[in-house]
Amino acid sequence: MTTGFGAYVFCLLLLVLPSIAESKDIVVKTETNKMVEIAFTASSACTDPFNEIELDAVFTDPSGKQLKVPAFWAGGNTWKIRYASPLQGIHRFTTVCSKVSDKGLNDIKGRVEIKKYKGNNLLLQRGAIRIADDKRHFAYGNGAPFFWMGDTWWMGLTKRLVWPEDVKLLADDRIKKGFNVVQIVAGLYPDMPAFDERGENEAGFPWEANYTAIRPAYFDAADKKIMYLADQGITPCIVGAWGYHLPWLGIDKMKQHWRYLIARWGALPVVWCAAGETTMPFYLSKTKEADKDWLKEGWTAVIRYMKETDPYKRIITTHAAHYCRTTRESITDPALLDFDMQQSGHGNVASKQAAQALDGWRAQPVMPVMSGESRYEALAVPKPLPAEAPRQAFWAHTVNSGLAGHTYGANGIWQLNGIDKPYGKSPGGNNWGITPWNEAMRLPGSTQIGAARKLIESIPGWSSFEPQPEMITAWSSKDTAVLAVTANHQSALAYLPSPGSITITLPAPGQQYNAFWFNPVTIIKEKEFTMTTDHSGKFMVTSPAALQDWVLVLTKSRK
């Protein structure tokens, strides 16, 4: 799938010199939802441009709505605005610069002419991901349902994932398997202290020493990877920083960091995750309890700033620390969050995954619930986890949270273990495993979970599933089975972590259902059969005998 995000941006780069800006308006053409870039050159030099100048462009779209779009410093005397819109027509803008005397930056006028997108990228056809109208699921911008099938590339912007060959190899593998989201950290990483050499990309670090200024060269290199993902129809879920970086930058600098990310990537079809393990103190902190409270307050302020700054209103979450039951516990005002990205744990078995998902579903305010960090395949805790660990976590958590989505992780990919050199130890002394990323890419769990998305999306009414554990009225095993049912009881999906007999009672007495068992290990659909509920809506069915987990799918038959 090709759309030319990156190529389009750089081919249409328009460098605005003061003489041109004074003589005529800028005109740029694009298609709906497709990002364009406009560059501006300051008319006078500045000793500290990143900190001394703030530039925005106020756009008026064809409906008359105004959007204040932040610019980012691109190095030297250059600033850039990136813009996209789902609306066809003329979008006019005027720049507003904090240094009003600068004729190259302030009061520059122009327009962006937008026609209908004609390509095949679903993110451009339908628009960036938003929250569905039921507030329980995800949708494309046009309302079409979206199942979040994520992959974890926390350190994907480091130089250990080489552009372009490594990025294309890994992305193409994930696309073939059914993944449509990548969670990736914007330079301020987990599992390392600040300015650790393992956090460098081809251009070094994202910030200068002591956080005096952002480093545009770092983000120029990062652009290539982020734009390639979007170009392939994968939604980048941008994690701004790991939570414990906030005390090192301070709240004001973290706001600058996030303004820069919004200006760089907000016009792309992205999702924002404010921080990873939001309230988790640094591994070696000696004041961890006090740190947790401070982080909770600080990240709340940052997220509020993000919502105020982003003109595109991309959906926002934050990634919960391992001790939080729901992400709502990570900040003081959970209403700022659009969805609940839980960390459901690397050691938690299927029953605990299911319980945490249900906690998120029942919590207030209502929002989609998904696990953004679950059981990583091959993670050494202390022995490497087999494929069944992430697979069972996927099904148990996803079914009990209404099938909004899930993120898979493979040890070796999240930290990008080098092919010749492993990542190494975390500050706490842990070594999570040495599997190289290109071997981790081929672990069987990613194929099994990718196939799960395809199965879910084939079920009629899948985007209205709700967890209904109380409808399981008998189950022969001690493990926790889970059940989700569509709002009109048209379809149902049950996950059995082990073989056995299950009794389900639906509010549909005397109803015939078409049914089949899905083997989540071999990803094969077993032979279909029919079954009819009794006068109370009850039926009992027994899984195949193989000693593994099973998925049961039911759909009302047409009479």
Residue 5: the pLDDT is 57
- Residue 7: pLDDT above 80? no
Is the Cα torsion angle 60, 66, 67, 73 positive or negative in sign? positive
Q: What is the pLDDT of residues 246-255, one digit of tens each?
A: 999 999 999 9
State the Cα–Cα distance between residues 384 and 377, nearest whole angstrom.
7
Q: Which residue's entry shows tokens 């992430």?
A: 390
Q: Which residue's entry shows tokens 């509920």?
A: 533
Q: Backbone phi, then psi, for 5, in 5-degree steps? A: -50, -60
Q: What is the pLDDT of residues 339-371, one digit of tens each?
A: 999 999 998 899 999 999 999 999 999 999 999
- Residue 389: pLDDT above 70? yes
Give counts: helices (H), strands (E), the chain: 13, 30
The 10 Å Cβ neighbour count of residue 111 is 17
Decide: 62 and 88 in contact? Cβ < 8 Å. Answer: yes
Residue 320: the pLDDT is 97
Residue 559: the pLDDT is 64
Decide: 239 and 258 in contact? Cβ < 8 Å. Answer: no
Please state which of the ranges 98-107, 178-187, 188-197, 379-388 shows the lowest mean pLDDT.
379-388
Mean pLDDT for all residues in the chain: 94
What DSSP assignment string belongs to 51-120? Answer: HH--EEEEEE-TTS-EEEEEPEEEETTEEEEEE--S--EEEEEEEEESSTT-TTTTT-EEEEEEE---S-
Residue 4: the pLDDT is 54
How much is the average pLDDT of 532-551?
A: 96
Q: Which of 372, 370, 382 is nearest to 408 (CA)?
A: 372
What DSSP assignment string belongs to 311-335? Answer: TT---EE-BPPTT-SSGGGGSS-GG
Confidence of residue 422 (pLDDT cuts 50, 70, 90): very high
Residue 2: the pLDDT is 40
What DSSP assignment string belongs to 253-302? Answer: HHHHHHHHHHHHHTTSS-EEE--BSTTPPPTT-S-HHHHHHHHHHHHHHH
Residue 381: the pLDDT is 85
Structural domains of the chain in order of their starting residue, each with its CATH number: 5-120 (2.60.40.10), 128-457 (3.20.20.80), 464-556 (2.60.40)
Structure tokens at 75: 């190095």
- Residue 227: pLDDT above 70? yes
Which whole-number Å values give the CA distances from 392 to 98, 286, 354, 361, 400, in the listed order?
53, 36, 10, 19, 12
Residue 10: the pLDDT is 41
Which pTM value belongs to this model? 0.95
The residues near 401 (Cβ < 8 Å, ≥ 6 apart) are 357, 358, 360, 361, 368, 369, 370, 371, 467
Q: What is the pLDDT of residues 166-192, one digit of tens each?
A: 999 999 999 999 999 999 999 999 999
Q: What share of the chain is helix, strand, coil (3-state, %, to 5)?
A: 30, 25, 45
How much is the average pLDDT of 16-21?
A: 38
Longest CA pairwise span in the chain (Å): 82
State the Cα–Cα distance between residues 459 and 399, nearest whole angstrom.
13
Q: Backbone phi, then psi, for 348, in 5-degree steps? A: -75, 125
- Residue 390: pLDDT above 50? yes
Residue 487: the pLDDT is 83
Confidence of residue 40 (pLDDT cuts 50, 70, 90): very high
How much is the average pLDDT of 273-294?
A: 97
- Residue 140: pLDDT above 80? yes
Backbone φ/ψ region at 444: left (φ over 0), alpha (ψ -120 to 50), beta? alpha
Which whole-number Å values give the CA distances from 385 to 57, 346, 370, in the listed order?
50, 9, 21
Residue 391: the pLDDT is 98
Residue 93: the pLDDT is 98
State the Cα–Cα distance between residues 312 and 532, nearest whole angstrom.
49
Peptide bond into 86 cis (omega under 30): no
* Strand, coil or helix: 173: helix
State the Cα–Cα distance between residues 203 and 185, nearest whole angstrom.
16
Q: Which of 128, 124, 112, 117 is nearest to 60 (CA)?
A: 112
**Angle at the Cα of 401 (from 396 to 404), degrees rounded to 5?**
110
Confidence of residue 12 (pLDDT cuts 50, 70, 90): very low
Q: Which of 243, 227, 306 is nearest to 7 (CA)?
A: 227
Decide: 411 and 390 in contact? Cβ < 8 Å. Answer: no
State the Cα–Cα distance between residues 437 and 454, nearest whole angstrom.
25
- Residue 308: pLDDT above 90? yes
- Residue 14: pLDDT above 60? no
